[in-house]
Chain A
Amino acid sequence: DAGVIQSPRHEVTEMGQEVTLRCKPISGHDYLFWYRQTMMRGLELLIYFNNNVPIDDSGMPEDRFSAKMPNASFSTLKIQPSEPRDSAVYFCASLGVRNTEAFFGQGTRLTVV
């Protein structure tokens, strides 16, 4: 398995634009997580899904953020409109119900100018 795949690896966008981050979890994994990493706040859990259903989105900072998981092999995190303070590295991770380890993607570095 290729592991958790995130795209793009880097994204630079202008303030006010819509940004969509993508994640392909490891096949067969039941849980998918979105994290945001910044210098100031460290790693924050934004939302996680179980069997494609959002379970806890309490970490989503604002209504500008939304996440979907239309099927077991794909998830998106959308920011609309984007703001400079959204600049961060966004990680996706997946976990199988029989595993005890969450596997992380390499992250998407988002820069909003």
Chain B
Amino acid sequence: AQSVTQPDIHITVSEGASLELRCNYSYGATPYLFWYVQSPGQGLQLLLKYFSGDTLVQGIKGFEAEFKRSQSSFNLRKPSVHWSDAAEYFCAVGNQAGTALIFGKGTTLSVSS
């Protein structure tokens, strides 16, 4: 079955500290992987995506993610978190067209000062 697992429901990180959000997927075909961010009361904004090529993907707002096929993972990282990064983060897997995305349950990030 196709699924996305985000093991951490809620993470708190100090401002300036590094961040890693975990994502594991199960997908029958070649996975196309995405990370979205959702601020309160807002829609989802794409942070980055992986389709092929370099397994380390750079996104907006200083985020990056690494695709590890052997571990079926696509973890999101940021070297130094800012208070404005507090939001909910969703990992998703989809097909070639980027359609029919399957989302994880999300990880809520809190940033402490």
Contacts and interface: CB of A to CB of B under 8 A. Distances in A.
Contacts of B32: 100
Contacts of A105: 43
B41 A106 contact: yes
Contacts of B99: 31, 33, 48, 50, 55, 95, 102
Interface residues of B, number: 22
B102 to A, nearest CB: 7
Sorting the interface of chain A by its residue count into under 10, 10 to 19, 20 to 34 or 35 or more gives 20 to 34
Given A44-B103, A45-B101, A102-B46, 6 more contacts: A33-B101, A42-B103, A43-B90, A48-B100, A93-B43, A104-B45
Interface of A: 4, 31, 33, 35, 42-45, 48, 50, 55-56, 91, 93, 95, 97, 99-102, 104-107
Interface of B: 32, 34, 36, 41-46, 49, 51, 90, 97-106
